[in-house]
Amino acid sequence: MTELKNDRLIRALLREPVDRTPLWMMRQAGRYLPEYRATRAEAGSFMALCSNPELACEVTMQPLRRYAMDAAILFSDILTIPDAMGLGLYFSEGEGPRFERTIDSAADVARLDPNRARDELGYVMDAVSLIRKTLDGSVPLIGFSGSPWTLATYMVEGGSSKDFAKTKAMAFNEPQQMHQLLEKLAQAVAVYLSEQVAQGAQVLQIFDTWGGALGHAAYQEFSLRYMTRIIEQLPREADGRRVPVIVFTKGGGQWLEAIAGCGADAVGLDWTTDIGAARERVGDKVALQGNMDPAMLHASPERIRSEVATILERFGPGTGHIFNLGHGVTPGINPEHVGAMVDAVVELGPQYHAQ
């Protein structure tokens, strides 16, 4: 494999010395970029874009042509696994992702075959391989999946939800059924992520988007337990170096210590947790990723720079910080404001890493 020219992200994830704080951005390839919108129009639909390795590679590369990001992240969707399991994913304008079929009973769970996620997602693996080749060692490639709990919410609800009533009803009234569903999803995710590493992913992130909707004990039982099982099954080395794993639970700041003990190398923070306080809580156990409010990108470039400075200062000197948003960048953001954030991290980050 081509030697990695910029390994700043991987070194920071492993809490090794770096010359400046690395950064990447969740959803860094997305609708805020006019070139992305043009490519999506060319594809005809979101799923057509995801399932075309050449176009998925193109949109993955687009933000790297604009910004000094320290990583590329595979362009795909967290719901490819339930789609491959036969639930029929589609996207409605203004409604987001929807499924033609939902999981409503023990019989529905029993029919799910986790092996289908491996057998039917070759287009994702082709995209990973092509992106890695196209990057030519310039920056590392991040692969990802949704967490079992997050995937389950979409599969049971049939799409997005405000209160997760059906999913929580299954978890609390039929816990055995929910655990069977989560176990199958954990199997599928572990194989899916392992295959991404085999095809060239150098970092992995598990997106636990809806873990924060659970209560304290339920989070441990239905979300964190299964992410821990996945991490235990992942290959932790490829091309002669460690493959770091990041776990990101939106709304999970109250469980920071527990998440830090799940076996991941880094914990992603949303914007509701102070990153300085988080560092005090976990010490050197894990790296921390985050955590600017994505809405801050609506502010002026001067205000964005000030916020970047505050977050860097709150984390303080030393390695183990990966600058990111506290969730994905949203449509409607001015690309120049993303540039202001990137420029601020590049300019202000080195002072916290004096060699």
Active site residues: 27, 31, 40, 77, 154
CA distance 57 to 40: 12
CA 253 to chain centre: 16
CA distance 33 to 141: 20
216 is an annotated ligand-binding site residue: no
163 is an annotated ligand-binding site residue: no
77 is an annotated ligand-binding site residue: yes
CA distance 23 to 268: 12
Decide: residue 141, CB within 10 A, 0-12 exposed, 13-18 middle, 19+ buried.
Answer: buried
29 is an annotated ligand-binding site residue: yes
Per DSSP, 23 falls in state B
240 is an annotated ligand-binding site residue: no
28 is an annotated ligand-binding site residue: yes
CA distance 131 to 133: 5
CA distance 232 to 12: 22
Count CB-CB contacts under 10 A for residue 34: 10
CA distance 203 to 6: 13
7 is an annotated ligand-binding site residue: no
- Binding residue positions for substrate: 27-31, 77, 154, 209, 327
- Binding residue positions: 27-31, 77, 154, 209, 327
